[in-house]
Amino acid sequence: MALNSVCSPEISPDPADQDYAAQYCNDFVSRWDELIDWDKRAAGEGQFFTDLLLRAGVCRLFDAATGSGFHAVQLRKAGFNVTACDGSPTMVTRAKANFAIRGLDIPVVCRDWRDLDPRQLGTFDAVLCLGSSLCHVFDERERIEVLKRFRSLLRPGGLLLLDQRNFQAILHGNFSSSGRYYYCGKTASVTLGELNDSLCEFVYTFADGARYRLRVFPVLPGKLRGEMESAGFVAQKSFGDFKSVYDPLRADFIIHQAQA
Ligand code: SAM
C-alpha cells in the first residue's frame, strides 16, 4: 500500500519503504513471536503500562499497532477492555491466533491508521501505539494526520501512549539492542543496515540464517513530541526504557505519554 506522496525532503526515495504491510511478509510475521519472546518481554516491561493506565483511570483501550497481539493480551489479562487493531493482514491473522490459543475473546480490526473512524469504532479512554510503529509513516504531515486519527478515538482527556526506538541515540552511533525489553528472543539478533536522517533500516537475523528487514523513518523524540502537540495532544511525559530518569543518548526505547 503506497502512501500519498507528498513532496517533502523527509520522504524516503523508495516507495517500497513506505509499504509497511509488504514488509511484514508471512515468513517474517510467523517468526515475530520468536523475535519478541513474550515471557522475557513481559518481565522487562513489568507493570509499566498497567500502572500508567490504571493511574489514568483507563477502562477501554485501543491497541492501534497490535502486531501479533502482545500488549492486547497482557492488558486484557490485567482486566482492561481491549480492542486490537493493525493494518497488516498477516499480523492480524497472527494476533487472532494468539488470542484464540489463550482463550481470549479480544475484538480485532484490520485497519490502516488513516482509516480509523470513531463513528465505526467508538471512543476509548486510551490509545496505544507501541513497539516502535509510528516510524513506518515517513512524512511528518502524514504522522500528524495519523496522530489526529488516534486523538479522534479518544474521549476528552484520554491517554495516548506511544513509543519509538531511540532514534536520537541511534543517529549518534549508540544503537544497542540490549535484548532486555522489546526484542528479547535469543534466536534472533537485530542490527542496523542503512542509516541516515531519513531512513533507518533494521536487520533481523535468525539463528538458521533467515534475514528480514524493516525500513522506517528515524523520528527524533523531540520532533515526535512536537508532532503530537500539532495533532492537538498535550504532551505530558517521556520515559526511557520505562524509567522517568534516563540518559537520552543511551536508552533503547522512548515512551511518550500525552493527553487528548
Ligand atoms: N506492537 C507490536 C509489537 O510491539 O510487537 C508490533 C510492532 S511492529 C514494529 C509495527 C506494527 O505497526 C506492525 O504490525 C504494522 O503492521 C503496524 N503498522 C505500521 N503502519 C501502520 C499503519 N499505517 N496502519 C496500521 N498499522 C500499521
Question: Please, are residues 255 and 243 in contact by the beta-carbon 8 Å criterion?
Answer: no
What single letter denotes the amino acid at residue 211?
R
Q: What is the mean pLDDT of residues 220-241?
A: 95
Write the residue with the smallest CA distance to atom 10 of ligand 1: 133
The answer, yes or no, to whether any atom of ligand 1 lies below 6 A from the CB of 177, is no
Within a domain: 61 = yes
Give one DSSP letter per residue of 119-144, joined into a string.
HHH--EEEEEE-SS-GGG---HHHHH
The answer, yes or no, to whether any atom of ligand 1 lies below 6 A from the CB of 87, is yes
Give the cell for residue 147. 496522530
Strand partners, 196: 199
Ligand 1 atom nearest the C-alpha of 133 is 10
DSSP class of 4: P
From 85, 86, 164, 215, give the residue whose CB has the most ligand 1 atoms within 8 Å, as the site to mutate. Answer: 86
Within a domain: 22 = yes
Write the residue with the smallest CA distance to atom 14 of ligand 1: 67
The answer, yes or no, to whether any atom of ligand 1 lies below 6 A from the CB of 20, is yes
Ligand 1 atom nearest the C-alpha of 112 is 24
User: What is residue 258's predicted lDDT score, i.e. its pLDDT?
Assistant: 98
Residue 13 reports pLDDT greater than 60: no
Into how many domains does the chain fold? 1
Please report, rounded to a whole number, the percentage of residues in the chain having pLDDT higher than 90.
82
Within a domain: 206 = yes
Within a domain: 5 = no
Alpha helices, H only, the chain: 20-23, 26-30, 32-36, 38-45, 48-55, 70-77, 89-101, 118-121, 140-152, 167-171, 221-230
pLDDT band with cut points at 50, 70 and 90 for residue 122: very high
Q: Is-above-0.75 flag for pTM?
A: yes
Average model confidence (pLDDT) for the chain? 92
> Tens digit of pLDDT for each residue in 69-95?
999 999 999 999 999 999 999 999 999
The answer, yes or no, to whether any atom of ligand 1 lies below 6 A from the CB of 86, is yes
User: What is residue 111's predicted lDDT score, i.e. its pLDDT?
Assistant: 98
Task: Establish how many alpha carbons lie within 13 A of residue 157's alpha carbon, considering only the half-sphere containing its beta carbon.
Answer: 3
Alpha-carbon distance of 233 to 129, in angstroms, equals 14
Give the cell for residue 36. 519478541
> Tens digit of pLDDT for each residue in 18-68?
899 999 999 999 999 988 889 889 998 999 999 999 999 999 999 999 999
DSSP class of 6: -
The answer, yes or no, to whether any atom of ligand 1 lies below 6 A from the CB of 221, is no
User: What is residue 181's predicted lDDT score, i.e. its pLDDT?
Assistant: 64
Within a domain: 9 = no
Residue 233's Cβ-count burial label (10 Å; 0-12, 13-18, 19+) is: buried
Within a domain: 7 = no
Report how far ligand 1's centroid is from the alpha carbon of 213 (Å): 14
From 133, 153, 201, give the residue whose CB has the most ligand 1 atoms within 8 Å, as the site to mutate. Answer: 133
Within a domain: 146 = yes
The answer, yes or no, to whether any atom of ligand 1 lies below 6 A from the CB of 36, is yes
More confident residue, 123 or 177: 123
Write the residue with the smallest CA distance to atom 15 of ligand 1: 88
User: What is residue 36's predicted lDDT score, i.e. its pLDDT?
Assistant: 82
Determine the structural domain holding residue 79 and report its residue range.
Answer: 16-259
Within a domain: 8 = no
Q: What is the mean pLDDT of residues 202-215?
A: 93
CATH number at residue 70: 3.40.50.150
Which stretches of 143-226 are assigned E, i.e. beta strand? 154-165, 188-196, 199-206, 211-216
Residue 65, helix vs strand vs coil: coil
pLDDT band with cut points at 50, 70 and 90 for residue 192: very high
